[in-house]
Amino acid sequence: MPAPRLAVLRAAAQVLHAAAQVNAAPQQPSAPWRARATPRQGSLAPRRRSSTPWRNPPTPWRRSTPAGSGRLRRGAGDLRGGVRDLRHGAGSQLPGGHRLRPGVVAQRQASRWPHLGRAHRRLHLPLQCSPMTTHAPWRPLLTGELADRAMEAVLAIAEDIPVRPGWLHPLVGESHAAAWRGSLASGAAGQALFYAYLALHTQEERYADLALERLDQAAEAVAASPMSESLYSGFTGVAWVGDHLRGRLFEGEADENREVDEALLSAFAHSGWPADYDLINGLVGLGIYALEGLPRPTARALLDKVVARLGERALEEPEGATWFSPPETLPEHQRAEQPGGLYNLGASHGMAGVLGILGAAHGAGIAGARPLLDRAMAWYGARRLPAEAGCAFPHFYVPNVELRGSRLAWCYGDPGVAAALHVAGRGAGEPAWEKLALEVARAAAARPTETSRIQDAGLCHGAGGVAHLFHRLYSATGEEVLADAARLWYAKTLDYRIPGLGFGGFRAWSTGLGDDLDWCDDPGLLEGSAGVGLALLAAVSPVEPAWDRLFLASVRHEPAVISPMNSSR
């Protein structure tokens, strides 16, 4: 596969790097579509061409010569001409958001990356990628009719997403539209992951083409629109997908995101940056990005900075270390309920994510992670609820306020907590923490479905996310009760499908939209159909769903390895 247009992302990172060098007061990045929810590996057959325009849309990366030649057709979007757009784009909300003078990016790019615009190395077909994981091989759980229904839904999602490329969420204004459409949470970057894993499973190159096209679109959004550092709504999410798919669909340089790393490292010079500590928008998300870039030296340096900044932000209390969410960082409904702020205990915006990233960082050899993790685990463990509460951990804690049970979800529920605790225990080599994770997961698996408060099929707070987390924890532990729970929730996920509605028959339940807009169509990864498709695909495919590193459901401890025999010029 030819490498996608990640050079645009690299050039954009130069702008961000220069901006971060300016001694200006830090500013809080905005994330206009901030999550509101309480929120072996296959081979690719020769591409089957289609006359349907949306299935194979025009793209500057489309091969104009027979498959295998590796040559690229030049067009309006060719890198050698398209770089000029970065002079006025590459917007960022890193501290000191200045832009370079017109022309500087193009000049730097031409001198620093003289190979741009030439043919890139491509991987031989079939693709063979070894993820070098530390657990047992991935095993699909669904068989028979359920497996057939799951694959039917996945393919329907794949067909529907390209039909409506201009779709926009009801709460997103046109001024933020380009950035939103390129994001990991809701836009092209997340869709690229979906099509990439579908390509690896089905062995159809047309899905690989769609994956690379979506990644191109996401990189172009970075160049054209202001984007924050947020993993899910910013440029780091796009860069993460580039790192993740390198070696799976295309062959690129190992340090291709080095400039992105350097831009982020420079921004750490400002003590108040980033404003958030969480996974979706803040430090934990930056740590996930850095983990995917290992063993790149700049990625390791970035992970070290993330751990150090988490240590600086930690509040030391008698029970251990914790992190506080002030009211200005809360979504409106939480701020109305807790105007003084709160201690968030969830995976998406809270402390469970911190535990996961600290455990993963320790496993990756970051020296300062373990002492902080020990203190954080002590504080977090003290928040555990009694068995009669119906869940193991509340979704937030406020002193002198009665603790309430949480929903069944990744974002603010026990499945997400169990996954993060398991990652922390594995990374730290602490069997007691793994045991705690298993206890939380077992209790969640036994929870009656009618008390789950699940409304839809999405990854964030829906049935698909819960099913996948139980599947992942089953894969890691071999606990059959978790496999049974995964099958149950996969079936519930499929029950939410209504063919002809949404994308592939799935609609998303979005909080904060008003009574008449609670249900909306969403093609994205976090709450929408691309994420549902990834969960259902993992239920029927032997391809390990390593994409769930984005949710701290798993961690790569070693870099992916591509056999030399699988590449050629």
pLDDT band for 512, please (50, 70, 90 cuts): low
- Asked whether the beta carbons of 93 and 27 are under 8 A apart, the reply is yes
Share of the chain above pLDDT 70, in %: 72
Average pLDDT on 72-89 reads 25
CATH 1.50.10.20 applies to domain 6-135+153-167+180-555: yes
- Asked whether the beta carbons of 498 and 10 are under 8 A apart, the reply is no
pLDDT value of position 7: 60
- Asked whether the beta carbons of 356 and 553 are under 8 A apart, the reply is no
pLDDT value of position 117: 29
Return the minimum-mean-pLDDT range out of 77-86, 303-312, 414-423, 532-541: 77-86
15-57 pLDDT tens trace: 455 444 433 433 333 332 223 233 234 434 333 333 222 222 3
DSSP summary character for residue 250: B
| Rg, the chain, Cα only | 22
pLDDT value of position 385: 94
**Residue 236 CB neighbour total at 10 angstroms:** 28
Return the minimum-mean-pLDDT range out of 98-102, 482-486, 550-554: 98-102
More confident residue, 239 or 111: 239
Phi and psi, residue 498, nearest 5° = -125, 100
Amino acid at 144: G
Return the minimum-mean-pLDDT range out of 58-67, 428-437, 451-460: 58-67
Average pLDDT on 310-317 reads 97
**Residue 443 CB neighbour total at 10 angstroms:** 16
Q: Which two tokens stand for residue 394?
A: 């509340």
CA distance readout (Å), 369 to 294, 308, 561 = 16, 8, 26
Alpha-helical segments (H) within 5-132: 6-21, 79-82, 104-112
Give the distance from CA 116 to its chain's centroid. 27
Average pLDDT on 407-434 reads 97
Average pLDDT on 438-464 reads 96
One-character DSSP codes across 499-566: TTSTBTTB-EE-TTS-TTSSEE---SSSSSHHHHHHHHHHHH-SS--GGGGGGTS---SS--B--GGG
322-337 pLDDT tens trace: 999 999 988 888 899 8
Q: Report d(CA 280, CA 277) in Å as an integer.
A: 9
Task: Find out whether the peptide bond into 326 is cis, omega within 30 degrees of 0.
Answer: no
- Asked whether the beta carbons of 543 and 493 are under 8 A apart, the reply is no
What is the pLDDT of the chain when averaged over all its residues? 79
Number of helical H runs and strand E runs in the chain:
19, 8
One-character DSSP codes across 143-197: -HHHHHHHHHHHHHHHHHGGG-TT---TT--GGGHHHHHHSTTTSHHHHHHHHHH
Q: Which residues pair with 509 in a beta bridge?
A: 519
Residue 566 reports pLDDT greater than 50: no
Average pLDDT on 426-445 reads 98
Residue 435 reports pLDDT greater than 70: yes
More confident residue, 131 or 511: 511
Amino acid at 199: A
- Asked whether the beta carbons of 468 and 545 are under 8 A apart, the reply is yes
Torsion over CA of 534, 535, 537 and 538, rounded to 10 degrees?
110
Task: Find out whether the peptide bond into 274 is cis, omega within 30 degrees of 0.
Answer: yes
**Residue 402 CB neighbour total at 10 angstroms:** 6
Phi and psi, residue 153, nearest 5° = -65, -40
Residue 484 reports pLDDT greater than 70: yes
Q: What is the pTM of this model?
A: 0.81
Task: From 271, 270, 272, 225, select the one nearest 22 (Cα to Cα).
Answer: 270
Return the minimum-mean-pLDDT range out of 239-243, 272-276, 477-481: 272-276
Average pLDDT on 417-432 reads 98
Phi and psi, residue 282, nearest 5° = -125, -140
